[in-house]
Each structure stands twice: as structure tokens, then as C-alpha cells.
Chain A
Amino acid sequence: MQRITIDPLTRLEGHGKIEIFLDDAGDVANAYLQVPELRGFERFCVGRPVEEMPVLTNRICGVCPEAHHMAAAKAADAVYGVTPPPAAKKLRELLYSAFFFADHTTHFFILGGPDFIMGPDTPVAERNILGVIRKVGLEIGGKVIQARKYGHTTVEIIGGRKVHPCTAVPGGMTKAISEDERKEIEKMGRWAVEFGQFALQVFHDMVLGNPEYLALILGDAYTHKTYYMGLVDANNKVNFYDGKVRIVGPDGTLHGMYAPNDYTDWIAERVEPWSYLKFPYLKKVGWKGFADGAESGVYMATPLSRLNVSDGMATRWPRPNMRSSSPPWASRPIAAWPSTGRA
């Protein structure tokens, strides 16, 4: 059997290697994504004080430390049975939204995006952010840089640092923001909304406007019909900070909804001997191997799945004009650029 090895995976956070096996006819017989790293947070967090968790678990991922910082802080709130005061909650939500903006900009233009903006056949030396800036020019490239800067500056004002924030503690935040800081954040936030619309336009023009890409992302190879998972508020709108975890099946029917502290009733993890990374799946459906469909417990927890589980975004801006029918968007890979991050 012939084998193609891709090592390392690039333009994403974390280590990975792909082994593809081809049969005699040259078709793919099987493929494995292996994660060749384990740092042992599961072990060394045991015995450490709970208030340290927001800063220890940050280091799981330096691309999305805010996610780990918040999850750990919320877990610590729960340990003490406390609810942060409204101002602290708002600060956390604002920090998280700013992170979301910066992170998705990083993904859209620096990690995943160059495939589409530069094209998959572009030479390696150009298929990256520096190539993107050379191609789109400094005016647009400058906007991308500005967007990341505004996102990270907001995180820094509230969280103390641009990477690995340090202000969320059990029951609240260590720092308030001043009126001047609030104004600065508001200015950056308004700019960010405009930039978001610009980014959507880029996606529309460069990806949806390209028949070849469209065929690729709507094609079989790019589509996985699985269960979908995401956080929703009381109105079933997307929420990034709080709420319940909602799960729908491949056809959009409700599988279940749970409070985060009940997660072990809903999710289990499987071990495979060929990767350090475990494979989470829906416990009530069960592990049926690496298969999609309603019979298999495999699920997605991604930007796409957030849209599939919810009745929409909570913001007052209408959703982009990409959705043509009622929910779910299941299997419509509208936002399905390969997502970064790790379990």
C-alpha cells in the first residue's frame, strides 16, 4: 500500500501528522490524523489551588488562552458556589468577545485563509500571511493587522496581557476598567464591527464567488453530517460565555441540552493507540468508529455547529445573507474553514 505522510501540519495551533494510505488503484484507503504531543495538564493540575487554574490552563493553548482562562474561572466560581457581580460578568464577556474577534481574524487571514486567498496551488513561500499581504496590498493587509491589534488590545485592557490574560479569579475580576478605557474599547469595537462586515465581503468575493472553491466546499469531500454542539442563551441564540450546551443531530433535531457541569453525562472520550489526543463523542449515542451520520457519536463543536444548534446570533445586526432556508444549517459548510484549536 502506498503512503503519503504530511508532517508537520502547519498553519494551526498544535502538533499533528497525517498518514494517508492509498490502495492499488491509487484511491485513499484510509487516513490517520495523529497528535504527537502530550503535556500532562490532566496530571499536573491535580493538587494545585483552584484559583491557579485560570493561569495554569491558559498554557494549554496560547492561541485561545482566553477560552481556557474563562472556562477555568467559571469552574472556580462553581467550586465556591458564587456568581460574579454583574460588572465582572460583563468584563469577562467583553474580553471573550474581543478574543473571539481577534482569534477569528487570525484564523481567517493567517491560518486557514491563505489557502483560499492565495489558492491551494500557490507555492509554499507565498501561501501564508506574508504572501497574503503582498497580494492584497498594504491597505487591506494593514486592516488585518489593525483588527488583530484592536482585538488583542481589548483583551489586554481587561485581561492584563495580550496573550495569557491573568485577571479572572474565583468570583470575579481583579481589575475594573476606567471610563477612558471603556471609551477606547468602544471605539475599537465599532471599528471591529465594520471590519467584520469587510471580512464577510472578502469571504463572499474570494470563496463563494469562486466556482471552483464553491464546488470544493459544497462537495462530498468537504461535508461531514454529524451531530453539532454549541452554547446557547435562554432564547436559543448563540452565546460565547454562558448558557446551556445544545446538541442537534445531522438533520437538526434536538439531541439534548445540558448545563456544563453535567458534561460527563453527555460526553465521553475514547483512547486510540496511535495518537496522544483522545476522541470525544456523545455518550448517549456511543462510539461507532470514525463515521458520520446519526448512528455515530461523533460531533462537531465549531463555528458552524454554533450556527446549526441555535436560532441565530444575539446581536442586532442581521445575519449575513448567506442562509437560504430555515434552520438548521446542518451540513451547509458555510463557515467550515478547517478550524484550529485542540481538545
Chain B
Amino acid sequence: MSKPKFAMYWASACGGCEIAVLNIDEKILDLDANFEVAFWPAAMDVKYKEVEAMDDESILVTLFNGSIRTDENEHMAHLLRRKSKLLVAFGSCANEGCIPGLANLSPREGIFECAYTSPSTENPDHLRPRSAWQAPEGTLTLTPLQSVVRTLDQVVEVDYHVPGCPPESHQIAAVLDVLIAVVKGEAELPPKGAVLGAGDSTVCDECTRKRDIKRISKLSRIQELPMLNTEDCLLEQGLMCSGPATRSGCNSRCPNVGAPCIGCYGAAPGVLDQGARLMTAIASVVDEKEPAAIDKVLDGLPDPAGTFYRFSLAHSLLRANRAALAEKP
């Protein structure tokens, strides 16, 4: 009997999701034993044309990472939706837009302006990449950049979500085990829309640091703080941490090593907007009553948009800067 087909694709992404999959180490052999890898640009040489030629729904499962930033990304989302029985939004870019989703804070032209007239760029003719350009030998086409970053589920229907930037490898291994059990007929598919490879509480719930005072009178940047101790909650020591609004699943990796959670597992269960939840969480621990005094505490946060929506802007209620949203896609 032929093995079911597996695919992995990166849209607008960094490649970290692929490395995280390779980091399941010897478990990669289980993937090979139970699936035929039909398409995976990071690891094998199948081309777009060959994917177009596949039968609809002929791929059992596609792990789709990366956000939708270009027409090509959108085309691939539709194509792989059609070719796959199960489409998984894999990693933060596909689920929340991730850090590159912060590009939604400026219209497209702002991005071009910055990239193509930077101090290191010599561009006297004010050249910009163009969707079609007449080379002496023929026309070269380049996929257009869309006005805003979108997440996979803002473009096509998604069956499952695996969060994380990137998803932790032990979680990926667990998801793979589930898929293999389903293929072998030993388990049922999880309910559609389920979040796989993550916990169902917050990073704070998993965090081993002590939270006692639950009150803060000052927020500081890490370089302004004296040595942080290794036992107490970072937030209570005055450092902004996204743990209260972020989904569990990573074993509170960053606070474990003295760095704040920056929120890469996305919104905690039941939370619509990670940034709004984080703001509420911070507001509720600020130990001040007077607006002026509260403002003073918040002065310790030089970049509210980037801090609260670091990973989730593209999937938030606001989604993007108004000028960017108003532009034609």
C-alpha cells in the first residue's frame, strides 16, 4: 500500500519552522517510515509545477508555515488548501503573523522607502522592484507585495493550528505521533480547528518563577535593571513579560533562562486579542491608582505597539495601520 503524502511549505517565513521539524532528530525517520514526503522546498527538489499537477486532496497533511505577504504566498495557500485533506497553520507567522507582522504598522511604500533608500543603498535612479520588468532577453516577473501581512486563516480554511516561533521540537514530535496514530487507524483525528502541540493555559502557569507580590510600581528595560534574580517572577522584578497573555506549551523556556517571554506561542486559550489581554494583565498589576502615576509606570514601556502586539498584530482586532488597511491589496 502506498504511504499517505506529507507536505511542508513556507510562505513569508524565516525557515525556523523547518529547522524545528528537523530538530525532532531521529523521529524524522518515523516521518519517512509513515509518509511519502511529496513537497518540502527546504529539504527536497519538487517544483511548483509538479504540485499544480497533483490530484486535489492527494496530500493527507500539509504543514503550512509563513504568513501571506505576496500574491505568490496567497496563491500557494489556495493551491495547498486544494491539494491537501488537512491544512495545518504551523508556527507563529501562519497563525498570528509573527514579528514580520509588525510591518503592518506602516503602509507598503514606507517599507520600500526604508529598504531601497537606506543609508547603505546607492539608488540614484530611485529604482523599486517591479512586478514585471523588460530584460533584454525577455520579461521578468516578480510577485507583488500585498498591502498588509495576513495569516493563513484570513485567506483559506484551516484545519489545525500549531503555535510557536518556532514550535518547540518536543511538541512537533507529539503532533507527528498523533498523525501517525491516525494513519495507522489507532486514533481519531482531533476536532477540526484544534490547537495542537501546545498547552491549554498560559506561560505563567508553566513558569517556575515565584509570583508573590502581584504588584509592580515600576517597569524598566533590561539594561536599566540591576542583576535579576533567578527565582522571582520577572514582571515583579520590573521587567515586561508576555507570560500572562501567552499560550503555554514551551515549558516557559525564556523566563527559565532569565529572558522575558516575548509571546511567541500566541494568544492564551479563549483570548481573542493577545495584545489587549496583555495590556489588561499589566494594568491589573500596576500598583498605582492616580492616572498620572499610572502613566509614570507605563513610561517604562517605550514601545507599546511592538511590546503588546509583538507576535500577534496581523491577527489582532486592529490588524494594521489604517493607511495600510485602506490600500489596495
A residues within 8 Å of B by Cβ?
1, 3, 6-15, 19, 21, 29-30, 32, 34, 36-44, 46-49, 51-52, 55-56, 59-63, 65, 80, 106, 110-111, 124-125, 127-130, 133, 138, 142, 145, 148-149, 152, 159-164, 166-167, 169-171, 174-175, 263-264, 267-276, 278, 280, 287
Contact of A145 among B25, B140, B142, B258 (CB under 8 A): B25
Given A271-B116, A275-B142, 17 other A-B residues pairs in contact with their CB atoms under 8 A = A7-B48, A9-B41, A36-B143, A39-B69, A42-B115, A44-B111, A49-B302, A62-B15, A129-B28, A160-B256, A162-B20, A164-B166, A175-B258, A271-B121, A273-B133, A274-B129, A280-B120
Interface mask (B244-284 → A, CB under 8 Å = 1, otherwise 0): 00000000011011110010100000000000000000000
Contact of B46 among A10, A39, A49, A148 (CB under 8 A): A10
- In the complex the two chains form, is A61's CB within 8 Å of B14's CB? yes
| B7 interface residue (CB < 8 Å to A) | no
- In the complex the two chains form, is B23's CB within 8 Å of A148's CB? yes
- In the complex the two chains form, is B135's CB within 8 Å of A274's CB? yes
Known: A39-B103, A44-B105. A10 touches B169 (CB 8 A): no
- In the complex the two chains form, is B127's CB within 8 Å of A47's CB? no
| B238 interface residue (CB < 8 Å to A) | no
Residue of A at shortest CB range from B108? Answer: A40
- In the complex the two chains form, is A42's CB within 8 Å of B118's CB? yes
Chain A residues with Cβ below 8 Å from B257 are 159-160, 166-167, 174-175
- In the complex the two chains form, is B48's CB within 8 Å of A163's CB? no
Cα-based distance from A42 to B103 in the complex (angstroms): 9
Q: How far is the CB of B113 from chain A (nearest CB, A)?
A: 8
Contact of B127 among A32, A40, A46, A272 (CB under 8 A): A272
Leading 9 A-B pairs by shortest Cβ distance: A62-B16, A174-B258, A160-B257, A21-B137, A40-B111, A62-B14, A40-B103, A13-B15, A43-B114
Give the A-B contact count at a CB cut-off of 8 A. Answer: 252
| B106 interface residue (CB < 8 Å to A) | yes
Chain A residues with Cβ below 8 Å from B306 are 47-49, 52
- In the complex the two chains form, is A38's CB within 8 Å of B115's CB? yes
Q: How far is the CB of B5 from chain A (nearest CB, A)?
A: 12
| B213 interface residue (CB < 8 Å to A) | no
- In the complex the two chains form, is B118's CB within 8 Å of A63's CB? no
Of the listed stretches B82-90, B94-102, B183-191, B204-212, chain A binds B94-102
- In the complex the two chains form, is B15's CB within 8 Å of A269's CB? no
- In the complex the two chains form, is A129's CB within 8 Å of B43's CB? yes
- How many chain B residues sit at the interface, stated as a range, is 35 or more
| B12 interface residue (CB < 8 Å to A) | yes
- In the complex the two chains form, is B128's CB within 8 Å of A270's CB? no
- In the complex the two chains form, is A37's CB within 8 Å of B12's CB? yes
Known: A40-B103, A40-B111, A61-B14. A29 touches B137 (CB 8 A): yes
**Could you give 29 example pairs across A and B, Cβ below 8 Å?**
A10-B43, A32-B140, A36-B72, A43-B113, A49-B303, A52-B306, A61-B15, A62-B20, A63-B16, A128-B44, A129-B28, A130-B44, A145-B25, A145-B28, A148-B22, A160-B254, A160-B257, A161-B254, A162-B19, A164-B165, A164-B166, A167-B258, A174-B258, A269-B122, A274-B129, A276-B129, A276-B145, A278-B121, A280-B120
Q: How far is the CB of A135 from chain B (nearest CB, A)?
A: 13
Chain A residues with Cβ below 8 Å from B262 are 55, 166
- In the complex the two chains form, is A32's CB within 8 Å of B45's CB? no
Known: A51-B223, A127-B44, A174-B257. A37 touches B14 (CB 8 A): no
| B326 interface residue (CB < 8 Å to A) | no
- In the complex the two chains form, is B122's CB within 8 Å of A62's CB? no
Cα-based distance from A59 to B149 in the complex (angstroms): 15
| B119 interface residue (CB < 8 Å to A) | yes
- In the complex the two chains form, is B15's CB within 8 Å of A145's CB? no
Known: A32-B140, A162-B20, A264-B120. A40 touches B100 (CB 8 A): yes
Q: How far is the CB of A118 from chain B (nearest CB, A)?
A: 11
Residue of A at shortest CB range from B259? Answer: A166
Q: How far is the CB of A51 from chain B (nearest CB, A)?
A: 6
- In the complex the two chains form, is A278's CB within 8 Å of B116's CB? yes
Chain B residues with Cβ below 8 Å from A30 are 135-137
Q: How far is the CB of B54 from chain A (nearest CB, A)?
A: 14
| B18 interface residue (CB < 8 Å to A) | yes
Cα-based distance from A65 to B253 in the complex (angstroms): 17
Cα-based distance from A130 to B40 in the complex (angstroms): 12
Contact of A62 among B17, B48, B221 (CB under 8 A): B17
| B110 interface residue (CB < 8 Å to A) | yes
- In the complex the two chains form, is B121's CB within 8 Å of A1's CB? no
| B293 interface residue (CB < 8 Å to A) | no
Chain A residues with Cβ below 8 Å from B12 are 37, 39
Q: How far is the CB of B147 from chain A (nearest CB, A)?
A: 12
Chain B residues with Cβ below 8 Å from A159 are 257
Cα-based distance from A12 to B126 in the complex (angstroms): 31
- In the complex the two chains form, is A268's CB within 8 Å of B122's CB? yes
| B62 interface residue (CB < 8 Å to A) | no
Known: A10-B41, A47-B306. A63 touches B19 (CB 8 A): yes
Q: With a 10 A CB-CB cut-off, give which of A7, A63, A163 has the most chain B CB atoms.
A: A163
Cα-based distance from A275 to B102 in the complex (angstroms): 22
Residue of B at shortest CB range from A163? Answer: B16
Q: With a 10 A CB-CB cut-off, give which of B106, B116, B123, B257 has the most chain A CB atoms.
A: B257
Chain B residues with Cβ below 8 Å from A267 are 120
Q: How far is the CB of A36 from chain B (nearest CB, A)?
A: 5
Contact of B32 among A130, A167, A175 (CB under 8 A): A130
| B318 interface residue (CB < 8 Å to A) | no
